[in-house]
Structure 1
Amino acid sequence: MARLKNSQRRATWTVSLTNFLNSGAIVAGASGLALWTSALNLNSLQVGLLGAFSANSFGAALGALVGGWLADQYGRKVIYSYDMLIYLLGVIIVVLAGNFPFLLTGFLITGLAVGIGIPASWTYVAETANDGNRASQVGISQFAWSLGPVLIFALGTVASRFGVWGARGLFIFLAVCAFITWRLQRQLDESPQWLAQKKRQLEGAPKPHPYHELFTNRVNLKSVLFLTGIYLFWNLVSGAMGFFMPYVYVQAGGLTNAQANMLQVLLWGCTALGTYFLFAKLGDHISQRLLFALGSISELLAWVILTYGGMNWTCLIFFALLWGLGAGLGAQAWYSLWSSELFPTKYRGSSQGVTFFCVYGSSGIWSLVFPTLLTKYGLTLLGTLMLILLAISLLIGIIWTPQTQGKTLTQITGEQYRK
């Protein structure tokens, strides 16, 4: 039993390296955005395009739509065999970029790789977890996601002294990590649940068309709408923060690039602590509705302070602490858990791909206009919009929290489709 648990834990951490690199790609772009803007003389539209086609928006959205389908058709393992090679190509192009089109191309390819890997990652972790520790295992995966920004922003604080070459250095670091991750993930076994599903198909079970069933089955439609609702409205805030927050600190608050990165280290460090000690440790044992509500309320308070309190250091620190701890229990962690539970194995990856595409596609549109809105209207208007979006996500989550805690994936599927 101990050997089985250790094997499961190693597999979870190995898969979670994908999340570390995914968030790392987002914040490596964010950390050096002001430096790229200065070095390449970028305007607000070009800054918005970098955000829109990066690992934070359209690039990841398109990748997830393809990656979810591939994970269901050919297995979770096939994604781990090739996805990191695409990621490597993207970050190397960014390192070598000497103009805006080249830089945008690198951001887009990296974003596609991020999106391809996400459905397989979250699905694999949930399918290989025990029924009593699924939130814990998903929490480890989210903890790895939080560590990416902590490390990259910390490195970015030092790298900012070297101008745009420091920004390139962050992507060199990601390239090295991606190569190591690729070597480790090639050794993973296939998901037992996916293998069992394929065996049933070979024995005569009908081969599903995932997108047809998703949009014609009432139960599936309700799950898609619920998951998209809690994640989309939350991610319009979090996604903008993930890529543009250092830019906001510099443009609206007058901070230096190094100060902005240090503030992000504090914020993401609190997120990592919240994810590990609140979501991973308590998510299998305490009311998930209560935990979701506590995280969302903390995030709301953070934006109230930033929006109406000003960009002084007291408000900035309280903002980082409240948002960071709240985000540890934020909608992304619950989305990654619930989206793996509410759909059957035969199209679990595809369903995540569709919902992720909707969420990150919307973030892409938002990213196109965010820098211009910040410049034209200031932080107060944007902050008020952020509060409205967070409140919508909170209401959706606490009203329709799924009753899946402690149940097997097979049991959840049976209950879902008997309704």
Structure 2
Amino acid sequence: MLDNANLTGTHVSWTLIASLGDFLDAGMFAGTGITLSAILAYLHITSTLLAGFPALITLLGTAFGALVFGPLGDKYGRKFIYQVDMIVYAVAAILLAFSFNFIWAMVFYAIIGISVGADVPTSWSLISEFAPKSGRGKLMTYTNIMWYVGVLVELAIAIAIYNTGITLFRTIWIMLGIIAIIAWALRRRLTESPRFDVLKGRYEDLHSATKILGSAQEATISASTAPKYKEYRYGELFTKYGGPLLFAWFLYLMWGIPASTYGEFFPYIFSSLHLVSTRVVFAFEAIYFGSAIVPGLLIYYFLTDKVGVGRYPLYLTSAAMSAVSFLLLVYKPFLYNVPVLLISFLLFGIGQGLGVWPITRLYSLEHFPTSIRNSGQGFIWFTMRFEGAIFGLFTPLIVKASVTYIGWIAGIFFLVAFIVVGVMGVVAPGYVRTESKSLEQTAGE
């Protein structure tokens, strides 16, 4: 009934509320990068290696938060997780704003990361599980856009008060703490995932969800009419769903290293070129992230759920654009040419919004059964953020050697993703052509 329902304003509003986790994930990423220089100066940190610690700690926190809380979301429910984690985020963010030494700052960075790791994979599972099958891609568009909006809000603050040092740092993190409290309050109105309720035999809880989401048949739900879901054990995620897990891990690795590098080190990277002022670097970052919103709303949104013209061609197009955007940086005359840099930012921004990031999210959700969907997300996020953390630790050293190395690494990653997904479309189309299929169908295939 929910699979065949029309997409309604309630679907959208629930998705936006759940997607506040994406806003706060982006806030963690961009906030760490935007305020890095300020907190390093305030705490008198001069070591290049220690400059990578805030990124390392937040990413490691996210990795282990996802690994631990992913299975808990499958055991106790999606709502159980996302009612608690926002309060933890809020307290840690506000305490971070007033950190007085390096060790306590790292503790609060870690707690923020853990809460993000618990929240975002769970929120995505929830959204996918109440979405109609012909609107799942559309709803996931909002999660992507909320991420970019989170960055743009912070950049607007940074551009306005960019030279205020620790005041900028405190403003950013207090703002994120307040948003987390608002998210916690709004989420109290959401119901549990209908699929999780079916899995656990809570048929009476389904009535309100199906009624709100537009089904006229909610009163017919019972043990005899509801679908039967098998409850898989955590280990079966690796034994029975190893193929989808490997595919999702690969896509997240190819995306995660470039994205986390730009997310947390964009100002650090391009300020090192000494081409423009810090305020202009923030404006460049706003162009980069802002350019992802338009194709997401105007192209991806309308094509992603269309059979034959949806996810597979969109992914290939966007991966190619992303590869070109980074490979432009390997040629030093281009690297020091401001118009070429702007073209590079636009190519990556438009490319990721066009498909490579939201489709990666979809592929990681659609191939797992309900009983281990959150566990699958948690494990994939663990690998992505752990890898990003290790790379982030050495990013300042790589940048110090040459920004061209960033271009080579990220460009090759996206080129490899383009080739692998292109081949998958021929030899294993069930992995990449998932438009208008139910979650049960994609997991079964």
TM-score range, shorter chain: over 0.9
Q: Output one character per residue of 1:75-108: Cα deviation in whole Å (capped at 9) or x when no partner.
A: 1111121010110122012101122112211211
* CA pair 18-381 structure 1, distance change in 2 beyond 3 A: closer
1:340 aligns with 2:370: no
Q: Identity over aligned residues, as a percent?
A: 27
Among candidates 19, 22, 25, match of residue 22 of structure 1 = 25
Give, in whole Å, the separation in 2 of the partners of 1:3 and 1:214. 32
Give, in whole Å, the separation in 2 of the partners of 1:339 and 1:287. 16
Q: How does 1:19-418 map to 2 (within 5 A)?
A: 19-42=22-45, 43-54=47-58, 57-199=59-201, 207-210=231-234, 212-217=235-240, 220-285=241-306, 286-308=309-331, 309-375=334-400, 377-401=401-425, 402-414=432-444, 416=445
Shift of residue 404 of structure 1? 1.4
* CA pair 234-354 structure 1, distance change in 2 beyond 3 A: same
Task: Tell me if the contact between 2:312 and 2:433 (Cα under 8 Å) persists in the aligned partners.
Answer: no
Task: Tell me if the contact between 2:300 and 2:355 (Cα under 8 Å) persists in the aligned partners.
Answer: no
Task: Tell me if the contact between 2:305 and 2:436 (Cα under 8 Å) persists in the aligned partners.
Answer: yes
SS for the counterpart of 1:161 is coil
* CA pair 351-132 structure 1, distance change in 2 beyond 3 A: same
Give, in whole Å, the separation in 1 of the partners of 2:229 and 2:116. 32
Task: Tell me if the contact between 1:79 and 1:120 (Cα under 8 Å) persists in the aligned partners.
Answer: yes
Give, in whole Å, the separation in 2 of the partners of 1:97 and 1:268. 29
Give, in whole Å, the separation in 2 of the partners of 1:90 and 1:294. 39
Task: Tell me if the contact between 2:288 and 2:348 (Cα under 8 Å) persists in the aligned partners.
Answer: yes
Q: Output one character per residue of 1:327-373: Cα deviation in whole Å (capped at 9) or x when no partner.
A: 11353311211111100001100011111111111111111111112
Shift of residue 252 of structure 1? 2.7
Give, in whole Å, the separation in 1 of the partners of 2:238 and 2:174. 42
Give, in whole Å, the separation in 1 of the partners of 2:150 and 2:75. 30
Give, in whole Å, the separation in 2 of the partners of 1:178 and 1:206. 35
Task: Tell me if the contact between 2:199 and 2:230 (Cα under 8 Å) persists in the aligned partners.
Answer: no
Among candidates 5, 8, 12, match of residue 5 of structure 1 = 8
SS for the counterpart of 1:199 is coil
Give, in whole Å, the separation in 1 of the partners of 2:188 and 2:180. 12
Gapped runs of 5+ residues in structure 1?
none
Gapped runs of 5+ residues in structure 2?
204-222, 426-431
Shift of residue 271 of structure 1? 1.2
Specify the structure having the higher radius of gyration (Cα): 2
RMSD: 2.1
| Greater mean alpha carbon deviation, residues 40-49 or residues 189-198 | 40-49
Task: Tell me if the contact between 1:59 and 1:112 (Cα under 8 Å) persists in the aligned partners.
Answer: yes
Task: Tell me if the contact between 2:7 and 2:135 (Cα under 8 Å) persists in the aligned partners.
Answer: no
Q: Which amino acid aligns with 1:58?
A: L
Task: Tell me if the contact between 1:229 and 1:396 (Cα under 8 Å) persists in the aligned partners.
Answer: no
